[in-house]
């Protein structure tokens, strides 16, 4: 019988095969002076495969994967927009990819100019005083920002400010980052409109508040209209306002976190600014702050002195370094290329169409699915599969059914304050036809739920594997390949 | 002005507005209070057409001295190594690079399997039982290892060798402030960690001992001695390791390491000015449920076919929120893929050959420097980096080298004033005998001036 398992690269291995080409050793060989215990005796059991075998293996794996270029990817909160190809070309230019971070800064002025111009562009886009490109990703930026807030409070002798307030709809990274930064996460409730409940905010804010972390628009895709009152409440109690930039794609050129009263902002360049998600990373998470918090920025900080770009290391109040070298430069290059492609008018149109697309889909899908919050949304919206659940079909089933139609499903069961949540973010780069096709499929699934629920419950039917046993995977973890 | 990434036509827009029941897109933004609505244009540079953009980006790229046109002897954590051509071809497949985290396993088996293979390769290299799907980089992976050790042992003191990469040491200091850890740094002696000083600091309150193998100066730390010291303590043993060196050196797992971390930049990832690279995090089965970041596990589908899923997610922020083992969300999946491809190309024999070539070439350089009358500072066992000593400032020397087409080594004075005149030089398999000879000659001339 044919083995249906798709082989691992290790299972393609045959002793004696090779896929590399190293130069001949052109120096006289000497005896290595290493003491016996330090000389490896058991070889690392890496695969032995030819170059074509490797290429076929990974090409086959790539066809077992869905990316933005494969099809619509309305994964809420992730901003799965088109990843421009020119960005990839630019990031691979020799002068940008083959440079060493510890070279003399005078020998990499082009790289520094690029970084500096990206910093100032991000400052202009967010309305913040100073931006650092050092953090590697969104969550890393969150923690960086919170460490700065902590340093600020401690400078003022406010060691008692140990609480970081996060909405119940917040990304999981928010409370997790608060903990890692040594704070205690406190939850503030949302009201019936899906916005932060101002009364509850007043209740939880006190003299121990270090900061409020907020995405705006929030994870329900709704703009926190009372942001100025919220800023007043938090600032009034001596706390700081932290902006999670995950949803910045909704407001480019329409509003700036700095003008809303935020003190710290992180951005996800792999979301709003088209850094590809890469199957989970690498990302980039620059952080911008007000002038008040600028002294605490990670070091070194890139500065412009006359016509030269230099790293400032002497920053006594800095929280220190958060990452080796200067951040994920390769991703920053892609983001910069994108910003230079779009310019001010283009970026504003990005948000205009991101919001138009989301509202259009929301109004169409509202006809078949529950919509817990009915006001205009921003770049994404959250549906509830409550109605379908009553008919025995869960949101998970709907998501799996979408796979049969070649779609990546929306984010499901998040935010956690919406029952059977489906979070849809179409992005601005999708054509109306794509949106219409998806809407039609969702309508069909809604019909199937009523008429033929099994087809949804048992989905997917067309994928290379069916539903996988996640319980056993977690109970008896097999995390590596072992030769039989 | 039209933008090629924005497909909506005026007609599309009109019919969509009508379906929504509004007259203009501005109405959709009315929830932004007037006082904070941004007026006018963002103060950024105007849009560029694609050809003009390429010209502008080329201008910036061409201003940089690069490691392909100059002969580089700079290492210090980022190395110029052989990158098989297929690496870029694989990671340029957009099914990989335009995908997100594989939350829907049925349509993400490619990515999940690639990560599973990466995890396996890392455990093979390090001699550990478990590896995660990757971390941001070696420095933050090390800092996460340190905070994990404190959480696991419920102790606050960590002992960190000063022979660890200076940036990683700084990152550890920053991370340590979160849980208020006490970081004790141990001096070096003859280029390796002062083991006696380490022993003196070691006590019942120690959460972990942290070493780099090989260390920042290229020297091979005596892990066996440290393992022995730790026998009588509960402290965890954390080792940061250049994974290429493990093609020749005994892996840290065989010296009782609890956590092994490092950066796989050496396998298939260009220096790209310091990032993105790719951290790895390997540990024991015992600590499997404490690992930060994502893990891929093998399982079966309903028909009994092998498949892969993200697993043990109860550790992670999107489930555990403030109780998560770490706040990390993304990993470096695409770079982990690059590493997997590079390691598949090298395979069992290529890894050994490459590591061996690094050691031989570094030894050749070592001998040539000595014959040229240039002092080599440390005499202990080393991998592919050596420290050479001059009576002049390294900054000046490097400027002269650059004019001759070289990128000189790392100026150690920048991290330790007592090492003024000391240059850390990396010699990889990419450097030919001729290049090494030329480099030594230039330095001899500068030295003898």
What share of chain A has pLDDT > 90, as a percent?
97
* Partner-chain contact A8 B22, CB within 8 Å: no
Q: Which of B5-19, B66-80, B324-338, B401-415 has the lowest mean pLDDT?
A: B324-338
Put simply, the chain A residues between 429 and 468 with a CB less than 8 A from any chain B CB are: 429-432, 460, 463-468
How many angstroms separate the CA atoms of A58 and A480, rounded?
18
Q: Give the ipTM.
A: 0.97
Residues of B in contact with A30 (CB under 8 A): 360, 363-364, 367
Instruction: Report how many Cβ contacts below 8 Å link chain A to chain B.
Output: 699
Q: Is the pLDDT of residue A195 over 90?
A: yes
Q: Is the pLDDT of residue B1 over 80?
A: no
Domain A86-341 sits in CATH 3.40.50.720: no
For B359, residues 6+ apart whose C-beta sits below 8 A from its C-beta are A32, B248, B383, B384
Burial of A305 (C-beta count, 10 Å sphere; 0-12/13-18/19+): exposed
Q: How many CA atoms lie within 13 A of A139 on its CB side?
A: 31
- Residue ranges per domain, chain A? 9-63, 86-341
Spatial CA neighbour of B60 closest among A90, A126, A467, A352: A90
* Mean of all residue pLDDT scores within chain B: 97
A415 prior amide bond cis, ω within 30: yes
Using one digit for the tens of pLDDT, what is the confidence trace for A149-183?
A: 999 999 999 999 999 999 998 888 999 999 999 99
Residues of A in contact with B434 (CB under 8 A): 26
Q: Is the pLDDT of residue A29 over 50?
A: yes
How many angstroms separate the CA atoms of A247 and A447, rounded?
32
How many angstroms separate the CA atoms of B446 and B449, rounded?
5
Q: How far apart are the first and last CA of chain A?
A: 19
Distance from CA of B309 to the nearest CA of A (A): 7
pLDDT at B118: 98
Q: If pLDDT is split at 50, 70 and 90, which confidence band does A1 have?
A: very low
Q: If pLDDT is split at 50, 70 and 90, which confidence band does A2 have?
A: very low
pLDDT at B329: 83
Using one digit for the tens of pLDDT, what is the confidence trace for B130-160?
A: 999 999 999 999 999 999 999 999 999 999 9
What share of chain B has pLDDT > 90, as a percent?
95
What is the DSSP-derived secondary structure letter of residue B29? Answer: G
Distance from CA of A449 to the nearest CA of B (A): 21
Distance from CA of B422 to the nearest CA of A (A): 15
Using one digit for the tens of pLDDT, what is the confidence trace for A317-344?
A: 999 999 999 999 999 999 999 999 999 9
Q: Within an 8 Å CB–CB cutoff, is residue A252 touching chain B?
A: yes
Give how far Cα A101 sits from Cα of A107, A300, B129, B322, Å. 10, 12, 33, 34
Residues of A in contact with B60 (CB under 8 A): 95-96, 110-111, 113-114
Q: Where are the alpha helices (DSSP H) in A38-108?
A: 51-63, 85-91, 94-97
| Residue B238 near residue B209 (C-beta atoms within 8 A) | yes
Q: Within an 8 Å CB–CB cutoff, is residue A472 touching chain B?
A: yes
Chain A residue with CA closest to B437: the answer is: A27
Using one digit for the tens of pLDDT, what is the confidence trace for B78-109?
A: 999 999 999 999 999 999 999 999 999 999 99
- Indicate the SS3 state at residue A309: strand
Domain B71-82+350-448 sits in CATH 3.90.1150.10: yes
Tokens, residue B421:
């005149």
For A245, residues 6+ apart whose C-beta sits below 8 A from its C-beta are A126, A138, A141, A215, A257, A265, A266, A267, A268, A271, A272
Q: Is the pLDDT of residue B314 over 90?
A: no
Residues of B in contact with A9 (CB under 8 A): 117, 340, 344
- Residue ranges per domain, chain B? 71-82+350-448, 85-342
Could you say which of B103, B114, B275 has the minimum Cβ distance to residue A329?
A: B275
Using one digit for the tens of pLDDT, what is the confidence trace for A431-481?
A: 999 999 999 999 999 999 999 999 999 999 999 999 999 999 999 999 999
* Partner-chain contact A9 B344, CB within 8 Å: yes
Q: How many CA atoms lie within 13 A of B127 on its CB side?
A: 20
Backbone angles phi, psi at A196, to 5 degrees: -60, 130
- A424's enclosing H/E stretch is strand A421-424
Q: If pLDDT is split at 50, 70 and 90, which confidence band does A4 have?
A: confident
For B39, residues 6+ apart whose C-beta sits below 8 A from its C-beta are none
How many residues appear in chain B?
Answer: 449
Which of A99, A245, A438 to mutate to probe the B interface, most B CBs <10 Å?
A: A99
| Residue A102 near residue B273 (C-beta atoms within 8 A) | no
Q: Is the pLDDT of residue B73 over 50?
A: yes
Give how far Cα A348 sits from Cα of B2, B79, B150, Å. 12, 41, 46
| Residue A58 near residue B93 (C-beta atoms within 8 A) | yes
Q: How many CA atoms lie within 13 A of A87 on its CB side?
A: 27
* Partner-chain contact B140 A136, CB within 8 Å: yes
Report the CATH number of the B85-342 domain.
Answer: 3.40.640.10
């Amino acid at each position: 019988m044919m083995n249906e398992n798709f082989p691992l690269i290790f299972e393609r291995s045959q002793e004696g095969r090779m896929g590399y080409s190293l130069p001949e050793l052109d120096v006289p060989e000497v005896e290595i002076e290493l003491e016996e215990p330090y000389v490896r005796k058991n070889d690392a059991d890496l695969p032995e495969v030819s170059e074509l075998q490797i290429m076929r293996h990974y090409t086959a794996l790539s066809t077992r994967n869905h990316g933005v270029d494969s099809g619509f990817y309305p994964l809420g909160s992730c901003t799965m927009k088109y990843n421009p190809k020119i960005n990839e070309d630019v990031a691979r230019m020799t002068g940008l990819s083959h440079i060493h971070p510890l070279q003399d800064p005078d020998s990499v002025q082009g790289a520094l100019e690029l970084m500096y111009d990206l910093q100032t562009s991000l400052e202009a886009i967010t309305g913040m005083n100073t931006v650092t490109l050092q953090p590697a990703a969104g969550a890393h930026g969150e923690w960086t920002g919170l460490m700065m807030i902590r340093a600020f409070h401690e400078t003022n002798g406010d060691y008692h400010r140990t609480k970081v307030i996060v909405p119940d709809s917040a990304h999981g990274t928010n409370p997790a980052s608060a903990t890692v930064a040594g704070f205690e996460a406190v939850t503030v409730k949302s009201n019936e409109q899906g916005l932060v409940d101002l009364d509850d905010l007043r209740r939880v804010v006190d003299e121990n508040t270090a900061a409020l972390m907020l995405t705006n628009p929030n994870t329900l895709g709704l703009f926190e209209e009372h942001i100025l009152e919220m800023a007043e409440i938090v600032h009034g109690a001596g706390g700081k306002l932290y902006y999670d930039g995950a949803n910045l794609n909704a407001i480019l050129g329409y509003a700036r976190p700095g003008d809303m009263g935020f003190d710290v902002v992180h951005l996800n360049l792999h979301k709003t600014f088209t850094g590809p998600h890469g199957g989970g990373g690498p990302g980039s998470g620059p952080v911008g702050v007000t002038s008040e918090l600028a002294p605490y920025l990670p070091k070194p900080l890139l500065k412009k002195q006359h016509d030269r770009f230099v790293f400032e290391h002497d920053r006594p109040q800095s929280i220190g370094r958060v990452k080796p070298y200067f951040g994920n430069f390769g991703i920053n290059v892609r983001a910069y290329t994108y910003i230079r492609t779009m310019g001010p008018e283009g970026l504003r149109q990005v948000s205009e169409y991101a919001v138009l697309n989301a509202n259009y889909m929301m109004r169409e899908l509202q006809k078949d699915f529950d919509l817990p919050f009915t006001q205009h949304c921003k770049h994404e919206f959250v549906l509830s599969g409550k109605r379908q659940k009553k008919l025995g079909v869960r949101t998970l089933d709907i998501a799996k059914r979408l796979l049969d139609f070649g779609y990546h499903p929306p984010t499901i069961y998040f935010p956690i304050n919406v029952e059977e949540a489906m979070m849809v973010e179409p992005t601005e780069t999708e054509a109306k036809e794509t949106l219409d096709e998806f809407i039609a499929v969702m309508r069909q699934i809604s019909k199937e739920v009523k008429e033929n629920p099994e087809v949804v419950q048992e989905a997917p039917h067309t994928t290379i594997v069916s539903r996988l046993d996640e319980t056993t995977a977690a109970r008896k973890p097999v995390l590596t390949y072992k030769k039989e | 002005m039209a933008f090629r990434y924005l497909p909506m036509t005026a007609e599309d827009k009109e019919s969509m507005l009508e379906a929504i029941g509004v007259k203009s897109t501005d109405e959709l933004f009315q929830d932004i209070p007037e006082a904070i609505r941004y007026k006018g244009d963002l103060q950024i540079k105007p849009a560029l057409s694609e050809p003009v953009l390429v010209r502008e980006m080329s201008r910036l790229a061409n201003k940089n001295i690069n490691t392909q046109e100059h002969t580089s002897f700079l290492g210090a954590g980022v190395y110029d190594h052989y990158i098989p051509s297929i690496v870029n071809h694989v990671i340029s497949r957009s099914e990989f690079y335009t995908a997100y985290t594989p939350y829907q396993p049925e349509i993400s088996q490619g990515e999940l399997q690639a990560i599973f293979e990466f995890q396996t390769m890392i455990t093979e290299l390090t001699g550990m039982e478990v590896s995660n799907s990757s971390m941001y980089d070696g420095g933050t992976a090390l800092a996460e290892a340190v905070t994990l050790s404190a959480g696991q042992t419920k102790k606050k003191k960590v002992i960190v060798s000063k022979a660890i990469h200076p940036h990683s040491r700084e990152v550890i200091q920053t991370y340590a402030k979160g849980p208020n850890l006490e970081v004790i740094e141990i001096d070096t002696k003859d280029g390796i960690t002062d083991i006696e000083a380490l022993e003196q600091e070691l006590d019942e309150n120690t959460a972990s001992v942290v070493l780099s193998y090989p260390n920042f100066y290229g020297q091979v730390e005596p892990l066996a001695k440290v393992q022995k010291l730790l026998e009588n303590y509960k402290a965890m043993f954390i080792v940061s390791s250049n994974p290429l060196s493990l093609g020749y050196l005994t892996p840290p797992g065989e010296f009782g390491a609890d956590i092994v971390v490092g950066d796989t930049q050496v396998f298939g990832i260009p220096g790209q000015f310091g990032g993105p690279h790719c951290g790895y995090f390997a540990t024991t089965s015992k600590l499997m449920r404490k690992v930060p970041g994502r893990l891929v596990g093998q399982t079966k589908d309903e028909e009994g076919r092998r498949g892969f899923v993200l697993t043990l997610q109860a550790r992670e922020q999107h489930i555990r929120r403030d109780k998560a083992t770490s706040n990390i969300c993304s990993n470096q999946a695409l770079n982990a893929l690059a590493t997997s491809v590079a390691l598949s190309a090298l395979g069992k024999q290529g890894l050994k050959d490459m590591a061996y070539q690094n050691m031989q070439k570094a030894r050749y350089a070592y001998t040539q420097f000595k014959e040229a009358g240039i002092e080599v500072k440390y005499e202990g066992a080393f991998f592919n980096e050596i420290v050479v000593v001059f009576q002049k400032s390294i900054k000046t020397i490097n400027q002269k080298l650059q004019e001759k087409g070289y990128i000189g080594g790392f100026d150690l004075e920048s991290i330790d004033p007592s090492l003024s005149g000391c240059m850390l030089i990396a010699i990889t398999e990419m450097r030919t005998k001729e290049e090494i000879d030329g480099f030594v000659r230039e330095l001899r001339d500068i030295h003898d001036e």
